[in-house]
Structure 1
């Protein structure tokens, strides 16, 4: 099964899409000016300042962000390999989006609540969800693999855009309860075309809900580029619903952290919703069932490799003398340990009994489910006398 936006469900073309628009500024604003982009760390690893978004992190905090991104990428690469080996049915890689996820994930407070899509592996890491817990659904052995209430991190959402409405309703409840926490909803540029997302924008604005909409604009909703989703930069669409939007360099973990912190505080302080567009790039395939070479130019990817979020922060750490060779060597060893742990965990997962499909459907049970359970049990019992494959009775 693949996941994509409604606007993206078109036949794939065997020829590569003309990439002139993608190589240029992705979208121009209605006024014809270049979209504003919050950046605190250049691709060359140089620190810059922004008049509205400032951040001051210690060397330990910077190294921790780097560690988060490296280990998240390592886990993600291991999951891709495991899928290729037949251990997973499908895997949506986050390659290239580590800064967008780690930066926003580390901006959250423990009492904030997250509504992810199906690609927020880095945010899950920040919320304390073990990497191996993310794999069960893609292996087909469970419906999620973690308790959403334990980490304030909802189960992955495959239906495109629906989590934006869920997040809005949850945020409206928080406001009525008088809590000062916030909600964040993740979605992609393709999902911005979905009715659910736009309905969420409307309701959140009208009810002043404390929710941050975090759009990871990785520029491709499977085979459709962002300009097929919006005629203006996505962050500018927020103004039409009555709340602010901001575009941040999604490959700059420092800028993402600063912008998301400010957006969450905006929501917590009773000022209503805010839209953050993290302008990033999907370096790999949409999922492991996708072939991006069929619709985008390889030169486009190469141009974005120079903006790699991990390489960018490493350059800064090295240039400023904030991390030595021992740190990077230790992290490499930890990375390999993480990969090994994930491999062992997935290969030890056991298939559930097929009767469990009827469990956890209704809180108090349901007559129709009971009837279906009995019918299936009788059907399964009909095979009880059959010999296992390879045996002769």
Structure 2
């Protein structure tokens, strides 16, 4: 609290300890699983066009995740991460933003990028690290980025985007732009020091930032109960001067409503906000993970009954905006589209080896050029270990 608030605080003359257990964090819920809304619930700003765009993105991500996990198992790509079960969180929140608001993602927000209009072909180019990849094949799969769509390129180290979001938002404030930054992270990332540094800076400088925590219960294999003793992540924000709200992360209408209001606070009042979306990762942490080692099938099935995609579909059907027949046909088409795009992308050549040292310096320094020459010599010496798709030399 500020010095003035400290001076106005209640004074006592015997020890009185405050406890987080005395605080109750409410959870915003609007939509029931059967597609009906809770009595008295306030709907977000949403019309048929927006609702169908959100749901179309849901179906696309389901098809993409399904096909690309299969592709990884077949050895066609090296790695993948799904967002099955968490689609309402990133897609619903992105739907509340202005297209020029900056998105800083962790690594499970491909739905946010899809909602912004990232082409299927570009998803594939990145996953296959070919010469048409915007990142020139320098990142492992699912590390997307798009300058055009205001989606900051994903970085592998956990939580690096959190302080970056505070700094970027401070820049927006100084430039007096009517935009904000949304920064996605998991509850596991909130255990990193970067989390505390970031939201402290956001609170002190009053920047237009929305910190969006996907609390899916596990930091890879570590359950929340072993990560922190407090009541989730939302209460932490209050101590740093942010406003906070907890939502049902499987309820896309609740996520949309909360983010619309959070954006208003961030942009109009320079009031940073933390949203904690309570959800669940139905799939493995990544294709390198086996969740059966740390959670039960019974637990997973309990959460499958809360599927955010099925919940929203039920609501759309109740509005007369969708049907089961449309659903089946559209999903089949999306699966085919993903399969067709995948087959094309895996035939595109890899970037040339020279691309490894471009874009950082105007003229690559000598030590990088020397390393590149050594790499080329090594590839030429052992060509059988480097198939054509693994990298091309400049003279090929």
> TM-score interval w.r.t. the shorter chain?
0.7 to 0.9
Provide the alpha-carbon RMSD of the alignment. 2.6
Does residue 76 of structure 1 match 2:65?
yes
1:121 equivalent to 2:110? Answer yes
Q: Distance in 1 between matches of 2:33 and 2:257?
A: 17
Change (3 A) 1:109 1:321: same
In structure 2, what is the equivalent of residue 42 of structure 1?
32
Q: Distance in 2 between matches of 1:363 and 1:213?
A: 35
Of residues 70, 83, 87, the one that matches 1:98 is 87
Q: Distance in 1 between matches of 2:173 and 2:120?
A: 32
Shift of residue 270, structure 1, vs aligned partner: 3.0
On the 8 A contact 1:164/1:197 being kept in 2, the answer is yes
1:161–1:187 CA contact under 8 A, matched in 2: yes
Number of residue pairs the alignment of both structures matches: 359
- Which consecutive unaligned segments of at least 5 residues does structure 1 have? 1-28
Give the TM-score taking structure 1 as reference length: 0.84
Counterpart Cα distance in 2 of 1:343 and 1:138: 9
User: Hey, what's the Cα distance between the residues in 1 that align with 2:235 and 2:312?
Assistant: 28
**Partner of 2:172 in structure 1?**
174
Residues 89 and 249, structure 2, Cα contact 8 Å, conserved in 1: yes
SS at match of 2:148: helix
Structure 2: distance between partners of 1:351 and 1:321: 47
Q: Pairwise mapping of residues 8-27 of structure 1 onto structure 2 (< 5 A)?
A: none
Contact 1:137–1:143, Cα closer than 8 Å, also in 2: no
CA contact (8 A) 2:120 2:338 kept: no
Q: CA deviation at 1:266?
A: 1.0
- Please list the CA deviations of residues 177-232 of structure 1 after superposition, one character each: whole Å capped at 9, or x if unmatched: 11111001111111010111211111111111111111111111111111222222
Q: Distance in 1 between matches of 2:236 and 2:341?
A: 40
Matches within 5 A, 1:253-332: 253-332=252-331
* Alpha-carbon offset, residue 346 of structure 1: 3.5
Q: 2:45 & 2:351 partners in 1: Cα distance?
A: 48
- CA offset digits 1:311-362 (Å, max 9, x no partner): 1112222334332345324423432333223322432232222332222232
In 2: Cα distance, 1:205 partner to 1:77 partner: 40
Q: d(CA) in 2 for partners of 1:208 and 1:93?
A: 34
In the TM superposition, residue 377 of structure 1 has moved relative to its aligned partner by: 3.7
TM-score by length of 2: 0.83
